[in-house]
Chains A and B, each alone.
Chain A
Amino acid sequence: MNTSSAKKPSARFAPWDNPDEKPLVRFKNVTKRFGSFTAIDDISLDIYEREFFALLGPSGCGKTTMMRMLAGFETPSEGIISLGDDDIGAVPPYKRPVNMMFQSYALFPHMTVEANIAFGLKQDKWPKNLIAERVEEMLSLVQLRKFAKRKPHQLSGGQRQRVALARSLAKKPKLLLLDEPLGALDKKLREQTQFELMDIQEKLGMTFVIVTHDQEEAMTVASRIAVMDDGKIMQVATPEVIYEYPNSRYVADFIGDVNIIEGRLDHKTEEGIQLAWAEGEPEIKIANNASRSENENACFAIRPEKVHVTRDEPQGVDNKIKGQIDDIAYVGNLSTYHVRLSNGMIFKAQESNIRRLANREFTWEDHVWLSWRSTAGVLLD
């Protein structure tokens, strides 16, 4: 399959920034309780047409409940879920223009690939010739035409995944739900399939909602990500914003690797503000943050790849700290250095291994300098 990496059309796709745009799906103050347990806690969320929306979070955060409410397998305890103009909160799953691709694929084992794909169409009483046409179309979309007559157990994992996708797409749902769709595939196949999913979504111009605990997957496929924790949405934004401007320690920590330094704000100027974090160490300069004031407690978060490691004291940099290498994690393309600071804190810095490591530049116990620009990190509460 053509794995074009052009994720977005050339004109920026951002209906969420347009106040006139009507959302396709709207959660309004939705709460879901199971007995005394609150799975979803007063969530409001808009999802727009043609979005590839990801619900991301650890297990038990409520993302699956959100999806099951969209599919109709659960009804909200409070609040309204609407699709287009209709309140769908109490509509049973078989009356919703929403289809779901299950984590286990849930292919009917007693039916052929063809019959699996045709199942929903037959249920909707499509005419026979149209069903045949549509099944053919779906089979070529997922490149399984040769396998039409096979039963699910005669297929490999990747092929089953595609049958499940074809089956859920066949009825042309207004909204397609994907529950950990790639969880059962190995890493290589998963990455390839992510691109295929994006291609298909773009080709069909449909709205996809994906549930995943895999942050890389969410970052790759999604137009926007909702990071969830404990029944609440922590942040909804594009992958870039989630990564570069997390709004909380939780989001910063959940997505990717991060160094977090606690301290007290100080020396506010036009350019930015400074964070005092340890006795005898230079304050950390952070650009912007006009809304912050001095003497507040705050955390500074910076991603390891934005920190440079050098043997000699760097000149003309915004921030630099001295430390000693405690550990090196070499993963081939990257090396992550765990550097111990004067206050005992371990600070992670990542360098890509541009040269082959015939003779390592640094080794354990080396004294090094860490440096980064004032715009490289963010302040969090």
Chain B
Amino acid sequence: MSNRFTWFNTTSLTLGFVFLYLPILILVFFSFNESRLVTVWGGFSTKWYAELFKDEAFLDAALVTLRVALVSATMATILGTLAAVVMVRAGRFRGRTLFSGMIYAPLVMPEVITGLSLLLLFVSMGIDRGFWTITMAHITFSMCYAAVVVSSRMVTFDSSLEEAATDLGCTPFQSFIKVTLPIMAPAIISAWLLSFTLSLDDLVIASFTSGPGATTLPMKIYSQVRLGVTPKINALSTILILIVTMGVITASILTKRTEARRKEDERMAES
């Protein structure tokens, strides 16, 4: 046990973490830079954060992003859950492999192609591009992720639970609502979170499907960077990193706690 931290192990660990986190640390560090120039240190300041919250364009973009993410994550989770239920429950039918393949295919489809195809669709249908086209585009691709997350849990779902509910007087719909959904809730929530994050992150598909007046945050950042990086972007990125980190930490604390509770429960059951 005492040999765990040999110089070799320590060095590889350090190198690995430096490679992963050094760029991010630099980004955070320079967000507190007094100077206008991103790469030159001019003293500590939080003025870029203040500037950021005064910039209406950024705030608008943030609002659009949030709304797109909320709506698309919710829709994608609903549709993805339905798809997962059918794929897992329907058993064998003609073309089942084709259908399940088609659900998974968009996961590996290059984003550029997804974006382009959606753009062509919206143009040919004469739909004005804006908030709803971005949302629809996000629903289409994040729905696949949601379906995968939900169906992987659905496979292990004991269908005799639903039968038990029907046996005790529930119609099939009632048993789905009262038994299946609550048990599937963790998977559905993680599907929603995943869809939400995917939507927040997306730059490529949003660029293809957005129109005037609907700019998402990643698009805004990207366009700003092309005009020159200001510490304001650093500040914004730092805030995003903070939000994501808090999310991850909360999620892992929650999982740990349920795990601990389960262990405790099992001990209780044994005694």
Contacts and interface: CB of A to CB of B under 8 A. Distances in A.
Contact of A93 (B160, B167, B270): B167
A171 interface: yes
B165 A100 contact: no
A171 to B, nearest CB: 7
Given A119-B165, A120-B168, A153-B266, A108 B160 contact: no
A104 interface: yes
> Interface centre among B161, B183, B262, by most A CB within 10 Å?
B161
A106 B268 contact: no
A183 B158 CA distance: 17
A179 B182 CA distance: 26
B168 A104 contact: no
A10 interface: no
Interface string B229-271: 0000000000000000000000000000000001001101110
- Chain B: number of interface residues, binned into ranges: 20 to 34
Interface string B138-177: 0000000000000000000010110111111111001000
Interface in A52-109: 71-73, 92-94, 98-100, 102-104, 106-109
Given A106-B161, A108-B179, A171 B265 contact: no
B160 A94 contact: no
A108 B175 CA distance: 11
A110 B160 contact: no
Given A119-B165, A120-B168, A104 B270 contact: no
B270 A156 contact: yes
Contacts, number: 71
A167 B168 contact: yes
Contact of A99 (B160, B168, B170): B168
A106 B269 contact: no
B139 to A, nearest CB: 29
Specify which of A106, A159, A168 lies most central, judged by the most chain B CB atoms within 10 Å of its CB: A106
A154 interface: yes
A123 B160 CA distance: 18
A93 B174 CA distance: 13
Contacts of A156: 269-270
Q: Is the interface of B mostly helix, strand, loop or mixed?
A: helix
B84 to A, nearest CB: 19
Nearest to B171: A94
A215 B176 CA distance: 37
Contact of B169 (A73, A103, A124): A124
Given A106-B158, A153-B265, A171 B182 contact: no
Contacts of A102: 160, 163-164
B168 A119 contact: yes
A102 B160 CA distance: 7
Interface in A153-168: 153-156, 159, 167-168
Main SS at interface, chain A = loop
A171 B269 contact: no
B239 to A, nearest CB: 37
Given A99-B168, A119-B165, A171-B169, A154 B268 contact: yes
Contacts of B183: 108-110
Contacts of A308: none
A94 B182 contact: no
A123 B269 contact: no
A153 B269 contact: yes
Contacts of B170: 94, 123
A100 B269 CA distance: 25
A46 to B, nearest CB: 23
A93 B268 contact: no
Contacts of B166: 72-73, 92-94
B265 A94 contact: no
A94 B169 contact: yes
A100 B167 contact: yes
Contact of A153 (B164, B169, B179, B262): B262
Given A153-B266, A156-B269, A106 B169 contact: no
A377 to B, nearest CB: 43
A151 interface: yes
Contact of A154 (B158, B182, B269): B269
Nearest to A157: B269
Counting chain A CB atoms within 10 Å of each CB, the highest count among B161, B164, B169, B174 belongs to B164
Interface in B163-218: 163-171, 174, 179, 182-183
Contacts of B265: 151, 153-154
A106 B171 contact: no
Contact of B160 (A104, A151, A159, A168): A104
A109 B174 CA distance: 17
Given A123-B169, A154-B265, A106 B270 contact: no
Contacts of B266: 153-154
Interface in A124-160: 124, 150-151, 153-156, 159
A171 B268 contact: no
A94 B158 contact: no
A151 B268 CA distance: 11
Contacts of A106: 158, 160-161, 163-164
Contacts of A123: 168-170, 174
Interface of A: 71-73, 92-94, 98-100, 102-104, 106-110, 119-120, 123-124, 150-151, 153-156, 159, 167-168, 171
Top 7 A-B pairs ranked by shortest CB distance? Answer: A120-B168, A123-B169, A106-B164, A106-B160, A154-B265, A110-B182, A93-B166
12 contacts: A71-B163, A72-B167, A92-B166, A93-B163, A93-B166, A94-B167, A102-B164, A106-B158, A106-B164, A107-B164, A153-B266, A156-B270
